[in-house]
Amino acid sequence: MERIVYVNGEYVQESDAKISVFDRGFLFADGVYEVTSVLEGKLIDFDGHLRRLRRSLVELAMTIPCPDEELLSIHRELVARNAVVEGLVYLQVTRGAADRDFAFPKNVPQTLVLFTQAKSIVDSPLAKRGARVVSVDDLRWGRRDIKTVQLLYPSMAKMIAQEKGADDAWLVQDGLVTEGTSNNAYIVTQDGTIVTRDLSSDILAGITRAAVLKCARELQMKVEERPFSIAEALTAREAFTTSATGFVCPVVEIDGTALSDGNPGAVAVRLRQAYIEESLKAAI
Ligand code: PLP
């Protein structure tokens, strides 16, 4: 069935949606995006996603496309029109359409596009089984804190992982894990400490990361925000990832070596449950 999508102020059938061939999102990957998950027809962590959207736009000298309340009502309208109970809302803002030139154009209207995707997130076979990851060199640009639409290298890394029979890649820079292709990466040490890389321009500040670390601290779990290597990860009791579309997803194998007994770890399972409960309470 065709979805209703949002393009520059209008709700249209997906096959009627049109963007200029001169759009800078298309020509230069000159745009940013956000993905907000939907549970029970409600938006999860919406304020966090809006905050990060604003930051990404400011970092790229772009303006905010419309007031927050309008963005919220577009999200809600799309969820309602497409009858999404569980899934996600994807939002993209680009610098707009202009003659192809490396310099940013002036006074050009931005392009704002949103669409929904129905997806089972809570009842996820991958989360039940646990993901297998492989390490891949992190060859992305130096501003990974900005959520831009230039996702070619993460896609390539995902393909390398799939070719090796794994589910995803963990990206490694100077011997240390930065993050997954589309998620933040964590290990749980033998003494039960949760370790995840500290925030910097090396990684995206995951909205789920912030919420899950809050849950962990509330559950009296010890958290260390510092880089770790693949060698250290292989000595870990368990590992997991976080993202808006995967929530907390256990990792059971790294570079072909199983962690502990090869099953999802207790900390990941507990945090997944806690995150789902807490985010549902705060969903809007
Ligand atoms: N890191 C990268 C590179 C990502 O692409 C994503 C999500 O797309 C994340 C981390 C997780 O961020 P969030 O929890 O906000 O989905």
Write out pLDDT tens, residues 141-192: 999 999 999 999 999 999 999 999 999 999 999 999 999 999 999 999 999 9
Percent of the chain with pLDDT strictly greater than 90: 100
Rounded alpha-carbon distances, angstroms, from residue 162 to 133, 135, 136, 158, 223? 9, 12, 12, 6, 31
Which residue's CA is minimally distant from atom 2 of ligand 1? 182
> Which residue numbers are catalytic?
147
Distance from C-alpha of 247 to C-alpha of 44, rounded to nearest angstrom: 11
Ligand 1, CB within 6 Å, residue ranges: 35, 179, 182-184, 204, 206-209, 242-244
* Ligand 1 centroid from CA 177, angstroms: 15
Orientation of helix 46-59 relative to helix 207-218, angle to 10° = 130
> Closest ligand 1 atom to the C-alpha of 207?
15
DSSP secondary structure letters along 249-264: EEEEEETTEE-TTSS-
> Closest ligand 1 atom to the C-alpha of 204?
1
Q: What is the pLDDT of residue 1?
A: 84
Position 16 confidence tier, pLDDT thresholds 50, 70, 90: very high
Q: What is the pLDDT of residue 240?
A: 98
Mean pLDDT computed over 85-98: 98
Distance from C-alpha of 7 to C-alpha of 78, rounded to nearest angstrom: 11
Q: State the CB neighbour count (10 A cutoff) for residue 241.
A: 29
Mean pLDDT computed over 215-225: 97
Mean pLDDT computed over 250-259: 98
Residue 57 has pLDDT above 90, yes or no: yes
Domains and CATH numbers, the chain: 4-118 (3.30.470.10), 125-282 (3.20.10.10)
User: Residues with Cβ < 8 Å from 114, sequence gap 6 or more?
Assistant: 5, 6, 74, 75, 78, 89, 90, 91, 92
| Ligand 1 mutation target, pool 184, 197, 213, most atoms within 8 A of CB | 184
Distance from C-alpha of 11 to C-alpha of 4, rounded to nearest angstrom: 6
Distance from C-alpha of 148 to C-alpha of 129, rounded to nearest angstrom: 31
Percent of the chain with pLDDT strictly greater than 70: 100
| Ligand 1 mutation target, pool 119, 182, 209, 249, most atoms within 8 A of CB | 182
* Ligand 1 centroid from CA 201, angstroms: 13
Residue 29 has pLDDT above 90, yes or no: yes
Q: What is the pLDDT of residue 20?
A: 98
Residue 61 has pLDDT above 90, yes or no: yes
